[in-house]
Amino acid sequence: MTEAKTIPQHVAIIMDGNGRWARERGLPRIEGHRAGSDSAREIVTAAGEIGVKYLTLYAFSIENWRRPREETSALMRLLTKFLKDEIPTLHKNNVRLEAIGRLADLPEHSQKQLAETRRVTAKNTGLTLILALSYGGRTEMVDGVRKIATEVREGRLRPEQINEETIAASLYTSSFPDPDLLIRTSGEMRLSNFLLWQTSYTEIWITPTLWPDFRKPEFLKALEDYRKRQRRFGGVEPT
Ligand code: FPP
């Protein structure tokens, strides 16, 4: 039983509402994504300053490939540009970049820039920024089960040895703690295939604000609400 007195160690965010933000302004959807990348930049800096250790951003889901090619290509170009332009700021703020998902699905220019930005920020010791790219919670489990099945087949693991730790270790997130707080913007009350295993005991905070309008003051409000919550992990409140 833990009282969440402090700042969350790991915050995960479903950045939703870029399209609606653009539509409300009569702009093309990509303009919403561009404004959304400004929010991402601001929240990364804020999270680092506050002392959050891990920030996972749902930047592109595996289902997002179903969008028109024009939009997915524009999003990938925006991602590559973000990864390149942010290097000096990430460095200045001691941020290490990581990524989870089926990264081989990304276009080559994004894969190359991702590898480069990861390489140059690898020794930073402040915030770890984890971008979920071509990510799906169910595909992550499929990939994990394949790894475990291979270990069993090769005789390195017996089925009865499989436990929660084995499964957690087979996921893309094996080297990160589970999220303490999940934020979703634009008011939808869904997980949308995000970190399905890892969010078992995560506190959820949902705001109607569209992602491009989600900036530092509202992020601080989410952290303040989290601080007031009691995390019981299935136990009971102390008497
Ligand atoms: C959801 O809005 C957002 C996305 C599918 C992409 C998220 C991408 C960004 C915030 C910009 C790039 C970020 C980085 C880190 C480079 P939506 O298009 O589903 O909005 P809608 O539901 O209103 O249509």
Please tell me the distance from the alpha carbon of residue 197 to that of residue 212, in angstroms, as a whole number.
Answer: 28
CA of 15 to the centre of ligand 1 (A): 6
- Asked if residue 198 has its Cβ within 6 Å of ligand 1, the reply is no
pLDDT, residue 5, reads 58
8 A C-beta contact, residue 134 and residue 62:
yes
Ordered structural domains, the chain, with CATH: 7-140+179-227 (3.40.1180.10)
Please tell me the distance from the alpha carbon of residue 163 to that of residue 155, in angstroms, as a whole number.
Answer: 17
pLDDT, residue 68, reads 96
The arithmetic mean of pLDDT across residues 167-171, rounded, is 98
What SS3 class is residue 107? coil
How far from 106 is each of 19, 135, 194, CA to CA, in Å?
21, 11, 18
The residue ranking higher by pLDDT, 1 or 35, is: 35
Is 0.75 surpassed by the pTM of this model? Answer: yes
How far from 223 is each of 3, 12, 119, 171, 180, CA to CA, in Å?
14, 12, 30, 27, 11
Q: Which residues contact 94 (CB under 8 A, 6 or more apart)?
A: 48, 124, 125, 126, 127
Q: Is 16 a catalytic residue?
A: yes
Does position 46 have pLDDT exceeding 90, yes or no? Answer: yes
- Asked if residue 16 has its Cβ within 6 Å of ligand 1, the reply is yes
Please tell me the distance from the alpha carbon of residue 188 to that of residue 17, in angstroms, as a whole number.
Answer: 9
